[in-house]
């Protein structure tokens, strides 16, 4: 069972079978020839000892040794209980009542043994004669033990980038509904599209923005991240689910950089911080991998406690990386804080699940977002969606086990590419006779001044290459003699996540011609396209509410009517890609409302994930959306595609998997067509 040298490796015969053959076979298909703990290949001549368990799953010895040292004698892949384990050695503390075995040829002074000896001894409760699991280890009252960032402060300056294109991190474009309107006509709801696009990467920005003088920490082409993962390990996660969650977490750990920090919270009936906020250096990664691999599924589902611990890590940290986010993963329903509708038919109050520190303010909107991932048919999609909406994050629906890692990969692909923070978009009427109407901004907080002359949209962070589209409604009066009307100007104020500089960027005035007699009206395809997106999102929300009231045929009819209306629009007739995607998504939602059973199992989660994506204009996982051949790939950025490519290459056992050991960063991928 022990193979101190690669040349000594012989596959052990199966002494016991996996407790669940289906789970075992599925998990094996993902883990062939790869250590499921460190995610690197196990090949002959690699110079690493390999341990092959009774259930035939193999691991690097130094990876599995720590897992067993913490009291785990269960295969992290298939959950089979081992009769023998890699810690049965005279140089190590053997299990109580067992005789230690020293395999022939074990090199007592080998470098591997040095690593193993450095592992902490198992903590024992002698009165109960069993190993105390890591989950029961003492936890500090204040989480101010985050690892130091070890960098010098960067002096913040204010910059006006309006007159220097080399300083621009954001590109602003505006599109009026039509380019000309007769002088005699007035409009109560004239639409103007405000289109924003973030730069590809801060590495391409001018060195005059102090990037050349930054300390070594900031010589990377992106801002470092503080990430807290809040993971459900309730009893329903046992088996393949937990094994694949560990693998997905391993992927996240391996792709974080040495300046990024990670903390791991696990929750079931209660919640514990398993791993403090640590930098993902080589040592930090190994410690994080060992902590994740020690997870064991049991107990109920207390999402509120998990989020409370995650928020506490963020609140108590002594230092802060420029970017911060929380990932929440659950396959069940909170049975401790939120109960279903009772006799009074009241709706559950999902706000109780979210700590007050995570509630966004209508005036700022800049809080730490929770990106929620609902796994399988039994999770509470309504609560997960509500948590993400309240905190400013996204909700993804992981329908099958096969896409779990891809869903995480897409999310961190965005988090590891933030180029803009605290973005505020202001609009101002340039003509005293004009007045603002509605600001169509989805889930982003927005407000219009009492006099109707100015408005603000709070956007927050933007990922590299990410785009945002907002529709601004303006009341335009008739003109008596002017040949041109100035409508409005757009101003963006944002913070650079590396230099902390605040930058202001203004657009040119938006103008329309006012001829005495107008020619043929030509509607802007750009405006029409975004109007269709908002209309589709409104139909999704209305259909979902109708379905919740039990009227599935009515919900399907709402979606069908929306598809018919969209098909008659200018952009749809021009075969616009976004319109094609919207139609495909609406059709998929109709099919997931075929029956109450189908809606409960997947329809609700699919629709809510789609709503989350369109309201924040940010990619979420749902259905086959992470598949390269899927139509539903809205809002994916090149950095997300890059990370998805890594994930899928690893799952397919591609040779490129070897590169995962050292995080690489390339933003060379081309964006998907809009």
Which pLDDT tens digit goes with each residue over 400-436? 888 999 999 999 999 999 999 999 999 999 989 999 9
Which residues on adjacent β-strands are paired with residue 420? 462
Cβ–Cβ under 8 Å, residues 495 and 422: yes
475/206: higher pLDDT: 475
The continuous run of DSSP H or E covering 405 comes out as helix 404-415
Q: What is the mean pLDDT of the chain?
A: 78
Distance spanning both ends of the chain, measured CA to CA: 54
Average pLDDT score over residue span 518-538: 91
The continuous run of DSSP H or E covering 542 comes out as helix 525-548
If phi > 0 it is left, if psi is from -120 to 50 it is alpha, else beta; for residue 267 that is beta
Cβ–Cβ under 8 Å, residues 167 and 503: yes
Residue 306 pLDDT exceeds 80 = yes
What's the pLDDT tens digit per position in 315-337?
999 999 999 999 999 999 988 88
- Enter the CATH code of domain 39-82: 3.30.40
Cβ–Cβ under 8 Å, residues 277 and 317: yes
Give percent of the chain with pLDDT exceeding 70: 70
> Could you tell me which of 461, 40, 526 has the C-alpha nearest to residue 251?
40
pLDDT at 118: 40
CA 375 – CA 390 distance, rounded (Å): 20
Alpha carbon separation from 646 to 63, 195, 254, 259, 652 (Å, rounded): 22, 30, 11, 20, 10
Average pLDDT score over residue span 170-187: 93
What's the pLDDT tens digit per position in 348-401?
788 888 887 777 654 444 589 999 999 999 999 999 999 999 999 999 999 988
Q: Provide the pLDDT confidence category of residue 573 given band limits of 50, 70 and 90.
A: very high
CA 47 – CA 622 distance, rounded (Å): 41
CA 379 – CA 216 distance, rounded (Å): 43
> Could you tell me which of 619, 620, 635 has the C-alpha nearest to residue 673?
635
> Could you tell me which of 109, 38, 98, 514 has the C-alpha nearest to residue 292?
38
pLDDT at 201: 66
527/125: higher pLDDT: 527
pLDDT at 626: 59
Residue spans per domain, the chain: 39-82, 170-198+420-522, 223-340+348-416, 525-617
> Could you tell me which of 278, 259, 406 has the C-alpha nearest to residue 323?
259
Task: Assess if CATH 1.10.1060.10 describes domain 223-340+348-416.
Answer: no
Average pLDDT score over residue span 251-274: 96
At residue 650's C-alpha, the angle toward residues 608 and 218, to 5°, is 80
Residue 572 pLDDT exceeds 90 = yes
Residue 669 pLDDT exceeds 70 = no
pLDDT at 57: 74
Q: What is the C-alpha radius of gyration for the chain, rounded to an integer number of angstroms?
A: 28
- β pairing state of 454-463 and 418-429: antiparallel
Handedness of CA 528, 534, 535, 540 (dihedral sign): positive
pLDDT at 47: 66
CA 118 – CA 72 distance, rounded (Å): 18
Equal fold, 39-82 vs 223-340+348-416: no
Max Cα distance, the chain (Å): 101
- Enter the CATH code of domain 170-198+420-522: 2.60.40.740
């Amino acid at each position: 069972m022990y193979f101190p040298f690669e040349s000594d490796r012989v596959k052990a015969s199966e002494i016991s079978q996996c407790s669940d053959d289906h789970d075992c076979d599925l998990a094996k298909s993902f883990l062939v020839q790869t250590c499921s703990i460190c995610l690197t290949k196990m090949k002959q001549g690699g110079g690493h000892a390999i341990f092959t368990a009774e259930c035939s799953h193999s691991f690097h010895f130094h990876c599995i040794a720590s897992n067993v040292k913490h009291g785990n004698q269960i295969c992290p892949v298939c959950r089979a209980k081992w009769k023998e384990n890699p810690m049965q050695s005279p140089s190590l503390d053997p299990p109580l009542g067992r005789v230690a075995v020293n395999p022939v040829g074990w090199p007592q002074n080998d470098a591997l043994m040095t690593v193993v000896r450095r592992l902490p001894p198992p903590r024992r409760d002698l009165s109960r004669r069993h190993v105390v699991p890591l989950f029961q280890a003492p936890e500090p009252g204040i989480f101010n033990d985050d690892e130091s960032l070890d960098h010098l402060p960067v002096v913040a300056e204010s910059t006006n980038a309006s007159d220097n294109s080399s300083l621009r991190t954001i590109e602003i474009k505006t599109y009026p509904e039509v380019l000309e309107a007769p002088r005699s006509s007035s409009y109560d709801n004239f639409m103007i599209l405000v289109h924003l696009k973030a730069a590809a990467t801060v590495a391409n920005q001018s060195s005059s923005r102090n990037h050349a003088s930054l300390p070594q920490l900031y010589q990377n082409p992106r801002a470092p991240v503080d990430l807290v993962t809040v993971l459900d390990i309730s009893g329903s996660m046992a088996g393949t689910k937990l094994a694949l969650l560990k693998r997905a977490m391993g992927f996240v750990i391996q792709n974080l950089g040495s300046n990024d920090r990670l903390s791991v919270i696990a929750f079931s009936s209660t919640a514990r911080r398993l791993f403090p906020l640590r930098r993902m250096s080589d040592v930090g990664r190994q410690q994080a991998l060992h902590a994740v691999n020690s997870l064991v599924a049991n107990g109920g589902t207390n999402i509120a406690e998990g989020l409370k611990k995650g928020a506490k890590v963020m609140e108590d940290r002594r230092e802060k990386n420029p970017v911060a986010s929380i990932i929440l993963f659950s396959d069940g329903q909170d049975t401790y804080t939120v109960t279903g509708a009772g006799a009074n038919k009241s709706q559950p109050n999902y706000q109780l699940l979210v700590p007050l520190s995570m509630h966004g303010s209508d005036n700022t909107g800049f809080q730490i977002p929770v990106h929620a991932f609902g796994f399988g048919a039994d999770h509470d999609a309504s609560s997960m969606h509500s948590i993400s909406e309240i905190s400013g994050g996204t909700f993804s629906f992981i329908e099958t086990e096969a896409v779990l890692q891809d869903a995480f990969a897409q999310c961190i692909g965005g988090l590891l590419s933030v180029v803009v923070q605290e973005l505020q978009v202001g609009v101002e009427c340039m003509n005293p006779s004009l007045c603002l109407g509605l600001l169509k901004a989805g889930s982003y907080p927005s407000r219009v001044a009492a006099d109707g002359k100015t408005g603000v949209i709070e956007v927050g962070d933007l990922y590299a290459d990410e785009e945002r589209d907002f529709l601004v409604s303006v009341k335009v009066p008739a003109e008596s003699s002017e040949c041109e009307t100035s409508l409005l100007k757009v101003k963006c104020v944002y913070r650079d996540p590396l230099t902390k500089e605040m930058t202001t960027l203004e657009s040119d005035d938006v103008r329309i011609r006012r001829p005495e007699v107008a020619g043929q009206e030509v509607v802007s395809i750009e405006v029409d396209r975004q109007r269709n997106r908002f209309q589709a999102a409104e139909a999704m929300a209305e259909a979902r509410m109708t379905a919740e009231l039990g009227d599935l045929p009515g919900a399907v009819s709402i979606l069908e009517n929306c598809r018919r209306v969209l098909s008659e629009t200018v952009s749809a007739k021009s075969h616009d890609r976004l319109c094609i995607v919207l139609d495909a998504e609406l059709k998929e939602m109709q099919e997931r409302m075929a029956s109450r059973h189908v809606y409960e199992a997947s329809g609700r989660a699919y629709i809510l994930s789609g709503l989350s994506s369109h309201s924040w204009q940010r990619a979420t996982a749902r259905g086959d959306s992470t598949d390269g051949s899927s139509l539903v790939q809205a809002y994916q950025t090149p950095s997300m595609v890059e990370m998805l490519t890594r994930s899928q290459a690893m799952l397919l056992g591609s040779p490129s998997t070897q590169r995962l050991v050292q995080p690489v960063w390339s933003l060379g991928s081309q964006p998907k067509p809009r």
